[in-house]
């Protein structure tokens, strides 16, 4: 038997073993809406033909955010452990501000740099730990995100996809067995590199989100 066939058989067996567990798990999905307060875009440097140039930190605008969540918690004695997929987006545009460009021992200040549109979309997979409760349920989690950042302006747009950290914690309030409301804090961190714009930098943000979820058992 070939190695590929053996691999397929092993995957099928694994799915058959896991399926009863997953089918008995507590599934949920819902929407989230909130507010993102980004830190300055920091460690901004030139790349490629602009390598060696550094820029001061760039002030980003606060932004509204929205997204969806899908996840499940394991049954029986592991009902405190869950896996969640979420995706959310916000527009922390780069403000109009002076920009100081430095190279070697020299620097120049550009005093009239226009607003740059900046969009961040974050699909993430999180491991969730909760303290099960009938009415109120605290939870916390962390995971890996695929951060998609897009800069756009009069000269076009530039997009980068970079891995990063997504951490969260919150409270879930059950209205009944099937419906809950939640309030959540998020922290995001990644490093973007925009090849067409010839810059790279560190992006991080703090967010407060709330939403609703539907639960199935």
pLDDT reported for residue 74: 86
pLDDT higher for 120 or 109? Answer: 120
Rounded to an integer, what distance in angstroms lies between the CA atom of residue 87 and that of residue 121?
A: 7
> Quick check: helix, strand or coil at residue 59?
coil
The answer to whether residues 103 and 53 touch, using CB atoms and an 8 Å cutoff, is yes
- With a cut of 50, say whether residue 16 has pLDDT above it: no
pLDDT reported for residue 24: 57
Mean pLDDT of 113-142: 93
pLDDT reported for residue 117: 95
Q: What tokens does 51 get?
A: 């390598």
pLDDT reported for residue 10: 57
| Cβ-defined contacts of 204-207 (< 8 Å, 24+) | 204/38, 204/39, 204/42, 205/36, 205/37, 205/38, 205/39, 205/90, 205/92, 205/120, 206/36, 206/37, 206/38, 206/39, 207/34, 207/35, 207/36, 207/37, 207/65, 207/90
C-alpha dist (Å) from residue 88 to 23, 64, 66, 122, 148: 27, 10, 5, 5, 11
pLDDT higher for 20 or 208? Answer: 208
The DSSP symbol for 172 reads: E
pLDDT bucket at 22, cuts 50 / 70 / 90: very low
pLDDT reported for residue 156: 83
Task: Please provide the DSSP assignment of 116-161 as one string.
Answer: BEEEEEEEEEEEEEE---SSEEEEEEEEEEEEEEEEEETTEEEEEE
**Containing H/E element for 204?**
strand 199-216
- With a cut of 70, say whether residue 23 has pLDDT above it: no
Spatial CA neighbour of 129 closest among 179, 195, 78, 176: 78
* pTM of the shown model: 0.85
> Quick check: helix, strand or coil at residue 8?
helix
pLDDT reported for residue 110: 79
The mean predicted confidence, pLDDT, of the chain is 89
pLDDT bucket at 56, cuts 50 / 70 / 90: very high
- With a cut of 80, say whether residue 103 has pLDDT above it: yes
In this structure, of 79-88, 96-105, 182-191, the range with the lowest mean pLDDT score is: 96-105
pLDDT reported for residue 153: 81
Contacts of 121 (CB under 8 A, 6+ apart): 87, 88, 89, 147, 148
- With a cut of 60, say whether residue 17 has pLDDT above it: no
- With a cut of 50, say whether residue 203 has pLDDT above it: yes
pLDDT reported for residue 3: 52
- Bridge partner residues of 158 (DSSP): 151
Longest dimension (CA), the chain: 69
Q: What tokens does 48 get?
A: 């490629």
In this structure, of 58-62, 97-101, 146-150, the range with the lowest mean pLDDT score is: 97-101
pLDDT bucket at 7, cuts 50 / 70 / 90: low
**Containing H/E element for 9?**
helix 3-23
- With a cut of 60, say whether residue 135 has pLDDT above it: yes
């Amino acid at each position: 038997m070939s190695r590929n066939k053996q691999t397929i058989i092993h995957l099928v067996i694994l799915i058959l073993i896991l399926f009863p567990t997953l089918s008995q798990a507590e599934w949920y999905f819902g929407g989230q809406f909130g507010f993102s307060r980004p830190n300055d875009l920091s460690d901004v440097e030139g790349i490629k033909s602009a390598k060696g140039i550094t820029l001061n930190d760039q002030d980003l605008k606060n932004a509204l955010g929205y997204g969806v969540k899908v996840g499940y918690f394991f049954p029986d004695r592991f009902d405190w452990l869950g896996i969640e997929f979420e995706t959310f987006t916000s527009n922390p545009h780069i403000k109009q501000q002076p920009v100081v460009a430095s190279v070697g021992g020299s620097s120049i200040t550009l005093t009239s740099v226009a607003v740059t549109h900046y969009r961040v979309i974050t699909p993430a997979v999180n491991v969730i730990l909760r303290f099960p409760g009938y009415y109120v349920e605290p939870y916390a989690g962390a995971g890996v995100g695929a951060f998609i950042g897009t800069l756009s302006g009069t000269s076009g747009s530039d997009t980068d996809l970079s891995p990063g950290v997504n951490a969260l914690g919150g409270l879930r309030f059950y209205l009944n067995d099937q419906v809950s409301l939640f309030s959540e804090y998020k922290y995001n961190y990644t490093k973007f590199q925009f090849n067409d714009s010839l810059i790279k930098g560190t992006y991080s943000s703090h967010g407060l989100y709330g939403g609703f979820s539907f639960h199935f058992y």
